[in-house]
Amino acid sequence: MKKSYQSLEVNLTNNMIQVIYRKLTSNIFRFGFVILLTFTTTLSAQEGDSAKGKSLFNANCAACHTLDKKMTGPALRNVEQRLADDEGLDREWLYTWVKNSAGMIKSGDAYANKIYNEYGGAAMTAFPQLSNEDIDNILAYTAEEKKAPTPVPGSEITAQTTATTGGVSNEIILGALAILFILLAAGLFLVNKTLRRFASAQGIEVEEDSKSTPLWKAFIKNQFLMLVTAIFFLLASAYFAFGYFMQIGIDQGYQPIQEIHYSHKIHAGDNGIDCKYCHSSARTSKTSGIPSLNVCMNCHKSIYEVSPETATAEYSKEFYDGEIQKLYAAAGWSDEEQKYVNEGTPVKWTRIHNLPDFVYFNHSQHVTVAGVECQTCHGPVEEMEIMYQHAPLTMGWCIECHRTTNVNVKDNAYYTKIHEQLTKKYGVDKLTVAMQGGLECGKCHY
Ligand code: HEC
Ligand code: HEC
Ligand code: HEC
Ligand code: HEC
Ligand code: HEC
Ligand code: HEC
């Protein structure tokens, strides 16, 4: 009986191992197959880089074309395939067309004239500056499959956690302390119980007296315990009070809701728009400034909706399109009439970063002279769906960086002489901002 059970067990394990083995191998095969597939598809698609194509498309073509909707010009998804199938035109035709469509129309090319008339004689810009390779890249982008909306899991959460990591570690410490206390109490209770059991086993009478006095009375009677608890509470409250006072006026992580849901992730991240396109004064002046609605309308006269790929689980396409409508209302733009119809109402952006009035901070000094990246101070802006304050903006924060950052003296004639003098004075090769006077109160305080 016992034996048969054992053999059954052996059989079972054998079977299981076989099943697992088969699953594994078939999966490995599948995996290999997928790799092979992606390899071959990348090989066949090597004719163009669709990522580069996307930015070229956005920069040159998006004003008149979208992939899926007719605008000033035709929708361009799979345009190469379409022209090859319907009209028998090849890539050479497309090169010539994009570089100089007007020339083609004049030369009497049949299809060029057909599409030109179809679009009411609207002229497409000529792009002689684009190379064949550039156009390959654009065509690779237009040949991309239409993507289903991709949710970005946790994009919000990462923003939140990076903004609040300062508090988390403290909470963990407090939590660990609390658990330690509970364990200690439980331990004492158990020890007490076992001792009692031993005692009664040995036939020793344990005074039941302590049982009749309630625990809290015993506790109050014990002066040492009272002292320890009092000290503990005093220290804890001092700790919280100190923490509370220190964070007054520090708005790290501040993330207000704006009138228009404007996403840096979509603009600066996904579409790669340069920060300085909108915050143009960061290079040359003290402040960076917030762009006026004219700047937005440079693009949004033709971008009246977001593509379906832009929508996420959290924000739908309808939501984003509605936000663009808010922009139109604010700018006084009518999408139907394609012109400004009224004054609009300026958007009241809520200011996020704000130093006290007695501090002097200059953007161009940091961005242009020192060459500090925006992200060093403002964090991963290109990932922020909603803007928040990344740095604490305290005096300690400024000083810390001035102590540790070297001044960029290369190719800066202004610094050549002072660099020589100061390196002699300090006997070092590299100069930190602090050595140059970056810790002097007067530099930052009026
Ligand atoms: C100023 C607006 C404008 C810009 C910018 C523009 N196009 Fe066009 N495009 C048109 C118009 C309008 C047509 C329709 C033909 C015509 O009227 O000349 C067209 C037609 C085309 C066609 C033919 C499509 C078909 O279905 O037959 C292709 C291909 C094309 N454009 C590619 C591009 C590319 C690539 C770029 C960017 C490098 C670009 N266009 C930039 C306006 C523009
Ligand atoms: C298309 C225009 C545009 C681009 C590109 C852009 N921004 Fe902004 N930025 C805005 C607008 C509008 C606001 C105000 C709304 C808000 O706070 O989200 C803003 C707000 C900010 C703020 C907060 C200002 C405050 O109130 O304290 C910072 C910091 C910032 N941007 C940095 C950047 C950086 C860094 C980049 C590049 C990675 C960038 N921006 C790219 C338009 C833009
Ligand atoms: C350089 C071109 C450009 C400029 C300038 C620009 N946008 Fe956009 N905007 C885009 C593109 C591209 C999209 C995304 C379209 C898509 O995903 O299909 C977009 C999407 C949007 C959306 C929907 C997504 C979101 O962020 O909520 C809003 C709202 C918007 N823009 C507002 C603004 C405002 C306000 C400004 C001015 C401060 C501005 N845009 C400036 C190109 C621009
Ligand atoms: C050395 C750190 C640092 C760098 C680098 C930096 N900023 Fe700032 N930024 C700040 C501080 C500090 C403030 C708050 C200024 C104030 O309140 O006077 C601020 C404020 C802003 C604001 C709010 C409006 C304003 O001008 O006060 C915007 C927008 C902004 N920064 C964008 C940018 C952009 C874009 C870049 C890169 C080109 C950049 N910043 C680089 C530290 C920095
Ligand atoms: C990420 C590093 C960094 C941070 C943070 C930073 N700075 Fe600076 N700061 C620099 C560098 C680098 C220079 C040197 C620029 C140069 O070459 O003149 C500089 C120079 C300065 C100067 C000119 C000093 C001089 O000797 O001429 C002032 C004023 C200044 N910073 C103020 C501030 C204030 C105020 C803050 C905080 C709100 C701040 N900085 C935060 C890097 C930083
Ligand atoms: C690199 C720039 C910088 C230098 C140098 C600097 N400070 Fe500050 N200081 C700041 C900033 C930024 C704040 C605002 C901090 C805040 O809002 O939390 C500040 C705040 C203060 C405050 C107000 C108290 C507080 O913490 O809010 C005092 C007082 C002060 N500084 C004194 C000094 C003295 C004294 C010196 C010279 C030994 C000095 N600072 C040098 C940037 C600087």
The residue whose CA is least distant from atom 11 of ligand 1 is: 73
What is the CA 215 to chain-centroid distance, rounded?
Answer: 54
Structure confidence at residue 256 (pLDDT): 83
Give me the pLDDT at residue 136, please.
94
Q: Which ligand is nearest to the CA of 124?
A: 1
CB 361 within 8 A of CB 355: yes
What's the token pair of residue 288? 């960076």
Q: Tell me the domain boundaries of the chain.
A: 50-142, 167-204, 213-248, 394-446
Kindly report the length of the chain. 446
Contacts for 433 with CB less than 8 Å, ≥ 6 apart: 370, 401, 402, 403, 405, 406, 407
CB atoms within 10 A of CB 337: 8
Is 109:115 a contact under the CB 8 Å cutoff? no
The domain defined by 50-142 folds into Cytochrome Bc1 Complex; Chain D, domain 2 (1.10.760)
Query: What's the pLDDT score for residue 45?
Result: 41
Lining residues, ligand 4, CB within 6 Å: 275-276, 279, 282, 287-290, 353-355, 361, 363, 366-367, 372, 374, 376-378, 393
- Who contacts 441 (Cβ-Cβ below 8 Å, separation ≥6)? none
Distance CA 403, CA 437 (A): 10
Give residue 14's pLDDT: 55
Q: Which residues lie with the beta carbon below 6 Å from any ligand 3 atom?
A: 260-263, 266-267, 271, 273, 278, 291, 295-296, 298-300, 303, 306-307, 310, 320, 323-324, 327
pLDDT by residue for the chain (446 residues), tens digit each? 444 445 545 454 555 555 555 554 455 445 444 444 444 444 444 478 888 898 888 888 887 888 887 778 888 999 999 999 998 899 999 999 999 998 989 888 999 999 998 888 888 888 988 999 999 999 999 998 876 544 444 333 333 333 334 445 677 788 888 888 888 888 888 888 888 888 888 877 666 555 567 778 888 788 888 899 999 999 999 999 888 877 776 777 788 888 899 999 999 988 888 898 899 888 888 888 889 898 899 888 888 888 888 888 888 889 999 999 999 999 998 888 778 888 888 888 988 998 888 999 999 888 888 888 899 999 999 999 999 999 888 898 999 998 888 877 666 677 777 777 777 777 666 777 877 778 889 889 97
**290 touches ligand 2 (CB under 6 Å):** yes
Distance of CA 108 to the CA centre of its chain: 51
CA of 375 to the centre of ligand 4 (A): 10
> Which residue's C-alpha comes closest to atom 16 of ligand 1?
116
How many alpha carbons lie under 13 Å from residue 273 in its C-beta half-sphere? 17
Is the CB of 415 within 6 Å of ligand 5?
no
CA 201 – CA 83 distance, rounded (Å): 98
